[in-house]
Chain A
């Protein structure tokens, strides 16, 4: 429905367009004017450009994250072109998939946060998550990741790049066993769950950038698509973790 504007419309004033575009978000205590400006100054990297990255990039651009870099040699450019038509206030840059861990770490250095989606952007998909985990540690960056794991989807964060006492993605992978039993979802439901995780990654990224972190950011999250059920999984640092407790700092 269209409601009457409370103030006379001045269509050429950019501040008015900014206020109008983000009005439903500016109203939130968690955001406000200061929070919105903070989001506008953020640089966020998205690794992958597939089914999970699609809603993730759309929601982050819609929320006014200042600069989004999408890493994927083939799919990043068309995704960025689509998302630009949603919000011209946001800068979108496609980047090629890195060929080495050093290259990945170099790509991450300007970012405030790295987001890893569940796309096969490396030749050996099974190790790509741990590979990017090491790159984020090397770059000293926080990495938030979503992925599909058998009958469910998972989300976890590595803060070890910025806080040596915090767990990394490898701690999250090896340290969580107490999973509930669940039934196998249809392939359609499992595919749809990747888009769902994309939305949740966008939400957690915004909360991270606004500094209102809480359980999901620090704990892992599991979603069971067949049941429509979530489980929060505490993640502890593994003192023997080969990724974050080795001598990666050189």
Chain B
């Protein structure tokens, strides 16, 4: 990256995962005029992806998602800068390192372990994060402010012991993924522009089987293992050590 590219990227959006959510969010961002994107995914395009991952075509089957998504985004907007990382980032440190080059991160990954790793990275490395998920007929999204308070762990605690529903075992409606992906891109633009109200401490939930769209509020957990500010040490504590 040249220094000018690095400067452009600093104003851009990093997408963790280029699946259904990542494809929709990337397309929405590029058509909205965002000119710098980072794409992270280690997967290849499969036929079963095409019912919801709308950046991919038949000719992309078997190829790396990040490279094919980059090609498609450049077709849309030739003056875009799209950096690709064909790896899977699962640790908060690794996520934080890549995220440092971007203004905001969109997490469109498909498993709880990575979602909480992204959350922990956003708290520790202080970057804004847009969380989102969609399986079956339900979707959800929210923003996490740099440093959290509240963060995803204040709401859910931590990842479940067994990974829950995924698109592979439960299925999903493609346009529902599109709706959540588009909303995530709009959250990212709110962070970039400093305009509108982010979904902070507000989880937007969508159930397309009942057509109910609701917002659930939550607040920071003072005992949160990740984002709680440690209480100042009391003199008694100092004496006892």
Contacts and interface: CB of A to CB of B under 8 A. Distances in A.
A91 B58 CA distance: 15
A55 B209 contact: no
Contacts of B202: 228
Contacts of B199: 228
22 contacts: A21-B47, A24-B168, A27-B169, A27-B170, A28-B171, A55-B24, A55-B182, A59-B178, A87-B58, A88-B58, A183-B197, A192-B32, A196-B179, A199-B178, A203-B208, A207-B208, A212-B209, A215-B212, A225-B186, A225-B196, A228-B198, A228-B199
A117 to B, nearest CB: 14
Contact of A196 (B186, B193, B198): B186
Nearest to B43: A1
Interface residues of B, number: 58
Given A20-B48, A212-B209, A28 B137 contact: yes
Interface of A: 1-3, 17, 20-28, 30-31, 51, 54-55, 58-59, 62-64, 85-88, 183, 185-186, 188-189, 191-193, 195-196, 198-200, 202-203, 206-207, 212, 214-217, 219, 225-230, 232
A225 B32 CA distance: 14
Given A20-B48, A195-B31, A200-B175, 12 more contacts: A23-B48, A27-B169, A27-B170, A86-B54, A189-B186, A192-B186, A195-B27, A202-B175, A202-B178, A214-B209, A226-B195, A232-B213
Interface in B59-86: 59
B196 A24 contact: no
B173 A203 contact: yes
Given A192-B182, A203-B175, A85 B210 contact: no
Interface string B176-220: 101101110111011001011111001010001111110100000
Contacts of A88: 58
Contacts of A51: 31
Contact of B193 (A17, A186, A206): A186
A83 to B, nearest CB: 9
Contacts of A203: 173, 175-176, 178-179, 208
A58 B28 CA distance: 13
A27 B137 CA distance: 11
B196 A186 contact: yes
A63 B174 contact: yes
Given A62-B54, A63-B51, A226-B195, A214 B186 contact: no
A192 B28 contact: yes
Interface of B: 24, 27-28, 31-33, 42-44, 46-48, 50-52, 54, 56-59, 88, 136-137, 167-176, 178-179, 181-183, 185-187, 189-190, 193, 195-199, 202, 204, 208-213, 215
Given A28-B173, A191-B32, A22 B51 contact: yes
Contact of A85 (B27, B52, B57, B178): B57
User: Sorted from nearest, which 3 A-B pairs have the closest CB atoms?
Assistant: A27-B171, A199-B178, A216-B211
Given A21-B50, A25-B174, A199-B179, A227 B209 contact: no
Contacts of A207: 208
A38 B199 CA distance: 38
Nearest to B33: A188
Contacts of B185: 192
B143 to A, nearest CB: 9
B171 A25 contact: yes
A192 to B, nearest CB: 5
Given A24-B48, A186-B193, A214 B211 contact: yes
Nearest to B182: A196
Best-buried of A51, A54, A55 by chain B (most CB within 10 Å): A55
Nearest to B192: A188
A44 to B, nearest CB: 13
A202 B179 CA distance: 10
Nearest to A2: B44
Contacts of B175: 55, 59, 63, 199-200, 202-203, 206
A214 B28 contact: no
B43 A2 contact: yes
B174 A62 contact: yes
Contacts of A199: 24, 175, 178-179, 181-182
A59 B51 CA distance: 7
B172 A215 contact: no
Contact of A227 (B51, B172, B197): B197
